[in-house]
A and B are shown apart, each in its own frame.
Chain A
Amino acid sequence: MIYLDNAATSWPKAPGVAEAITRFLTDVGANPGRSGHRLSIEAARMVSTVRELTAGLFGSPDPLRVVFTLNVTHAINVALQGVLRPGDHVVTSSVEHNSMIRPLNALREAGISFTAVACASDGSLDPADIEASITPATAMIALTHASNVLGTLLPAERIGALARERGLLFLLDAASTAGCVPIDIVADNIDLLAFTGHKALLGPTGTGGLVIGERVNPARIRPVFQGGTGSRSATESQPPFLPDLLECGTLNTTGLAGLGAAFAWINATGIHHIQNTCRTHTRLLLERLQAIPGVSVYGPRDASLQTATVSFNIQGMSPSRAGQLLDERFGILCRVGLHCAPRAHTTIGTFPHGTIRFSPGVFSAQDEIAIAADAVECLNREARCE
């Protein structure tokens, strides 16, 4: 079996993740921040350590501005619904995941509008087009850091600088990049960084968060959820301070224990090393797939301009059929279809059937990629003979 679906969720997880989860469930298990006994303290200390690691990985000077969520979708909703007000306008792109587009569409009912700037056919985005879409009502630029369909990296640093220059908030969806592309919220002028733990961060599902920059005043954030925090228990309204303002109900401590182990592995390995490994895989995959006549490869087709996500199609074979055959006959696990990003497929002309998406991870092997390319060659031959 060859797993090439790391863009959906990474597998295997970082060494130590499963053990940390087992250890937490076996030896600690208690609820952090609710009680004063030793196990509750131990749980709170574990959560605090992961908070510090998260802040450290993303260059946040204040770990108390790290809010844990269940995933990036949850974090994006907390950010958009928490910060935007009726009359606000948002600039986004045409390669966004539904995690961005659906909440933005829903916010139209609240009087919040948005413009999705068209990306080029390789998914790339010209900052000048973003700038041209800014209106007097624009309050935020909200972008994915990389297309989950094409892998295309969007120019976060330049957009961050533009947002700062124009006095706008910058929300970055780092679902596809956190863990495999360096991110620094201060240097990149990111005000709201939404991340998930289960992709390139190599942690368990059910983990993620929102890192909130210094320019965002917590007093201006309206929480999407209200509930128990273990703090200010005598009052019946949500505490005004971070992280409790946006972090109520019992946390996914089990998942966070695993995420902490993943952070430790990433820090010991180094983001640049991980990025280089992924680039090596991407380079080989692009080289092999582009050499097959009848196979169309989408995106920048340059490992330095994308994540380890490569979308392609085999002429004469639907993506769904290809995905089925890759699994059943070759043991190659990938994702096919629209990848929850219909606009990205409209942008590259593959709507509504979508694409076949191979996404190796840091633990993929070069020979696995070669075998996967051989399988595509085989299917391509068959498609051409039919």
Chain B
Amino acid sequence: MSEQSVILFPTSAHVMRAEKLLKEAGLSSRLIPVPRHLSSDCGICLVVPTCESAGACALLEEKRVDYDTVAEIPAQ
């Protein structure tokens, strides 16, 4: 099982809002360019530890920040 997951968002404004909310909640995340095999969109997405992705998504849903996809990626 991969150790990292990416969360893809509709737009960079959502990514930035999500990054701030996760940080405030003490959840770790970092920004990377959107992997091409996951989306043709330009821009960035969030990488979170897979073990924290469910918690991160729950927080985003609670805060009403829409996200598109969650996918595991190989450890980088």
Measuring CB to CB, which residues of chain A are less than 8 angstroms from any residue of chain B? 32-37, 40-41, 44-45, 47-48, 51-52, 62-64, 229-234, 239, 241, 243-244
> Size band of the B side of the interface?
20 to 34
Given contact pairs A48-B16, A64-B17, A239 touches B10 in the complex (Cβ within 8 A): yes
B19 neighbours in A (Cβ, 8 Å): 45
User: For B13, B16, B43, B64, which residue has the most chain A Cβ atoms within 10 angstroms?
Assistant: B13
B27 within 8 A of A: no
Hey, which chain B residues are within 8 Å of A232, CB to CB?
10-11, 41
A41 to B11, CA, bound (A): 12
The 3 A-B pairs of least Cβ separation, nearest first, read A36-B33, A48-B16, A33-B12
- Per the bound structure, the CA–CA distance linking A45 and B46 in Å amounts to 13
Asked if A230 and B17 sit within 8 Å, CB to CB, the answer is no
B56, CB-defined interface residue at 8 Å:
no
Q: Do the beta carbons of B11 and A244 come within 8 Å of each other?
A: yes
**Residue ID in chain A nearest B41 by CB atoms:** A233
Which residues on A sit within 8 Å (CB–CB) of B64?
62
B11 contacts A230, CB within 8 Å?
A: yes
Given known contacts A52-B20, A234-B40, A243 and B10 CB-to-CB distance under 8 angstroms: no
Q: How far is the CA of A257 from the CA of B33 in the complex (A)?
A: 23
Judge if B44 is at the interface, Cβ distance under 8 Å: yes
B31 within 8 A of A: yes
Q: Which residues in window 28-67 of B have CB below 8 A to A?
A: 31-34, 40-44, 64-66
Contacts known (A33-B43, A36-B34, A241-B66); A231 close to B20, Cβ less than 8 A: no
- Helix, strand, loop or mixed for chain A's interface? loop
B33 touches A243 (CB 8 A): no
New A-B pairs, 19, CB < 8 Å, besides A32-B12, A244-B13: A33-B12, A34-B43, A36-B42, A48-B17, A51-B16, A52-B17, A63-B17, A64-B13, A64-B17, A64-B65, A230-B41, A231-B11, A233-B42, A239-B11, A241-B10, A241-B11, A241-B14, A241-B66, A244-B11
Q: Is B7 an interface residue (CB 8 A)?
A: no
Is residue B6 within 8 Å, beta carbon to beta carbon, of the partner chain? no
Q: Cβ of B17: which chain A residues have Cβ within 8 Å of it?
A: 48, 51-52, 63-64
Nearest chain-A residue to B11 (Cβ)?
A: A231
How far apart sit A321 and B54, CA to CA, in the bound complex (Å)? 69
Known contacts: A36-B32, A241-B66. The answer to whether A231 contacts B12 by CB under 8 A is yes
- 25 A-B residue pairings within 8 Å (CB atoms): A32-B12, A33-B12, A33-B13, A35-B33, A36-B33, A36-B42, A36-B44, A37-B33, A40-B44, A41-B31, A44-B15, A44-B44, A45-B16, A47-B16, A52-B17, A63-B17, A64-B17, A230-B42, A230-B43, A231-B43, A232-B10, A234-B41, A239-B10, A244-B11, A244-B13
| A contact residues around B12 at 8 Å (CB) | 32-33, 44, 230-231
Return A36 CB to nearest CB of chain B, in Å: 3
B13–A243 touching, CB < 8 Å: yes
Give the shortest distance, in Å, between B25 (CB) and chain A (any CB): 15
Complex contacts, A63 vs chain B, CB 8 Å: 17
Minimum C-beta distance from A69 to chain B (A): 15
Q: How far is the CB of B3 from chain A (nearest CB, A)?
A: 21
Give Cα A36–Cα B44 distance, bound, in whole angstroms: 5
Complex Cα distance, B50 from A249, in Å, reads: 35
Q: A184 vs B43: C-alpha distance in the bound complex, in angstroms?
A: 33
What chain B residues lie within 8 Å of A34 (beta carbons)? 42-43
Q: Name the distance in Å between B45's Cβ and chain A's nearest Cβ.
A: 9
Nearest Cβ distance between residue A238 and chain B, in whole angstroms? 12
- Report the minimum CB–CB distance from B49 to chain A (whole Å): 20
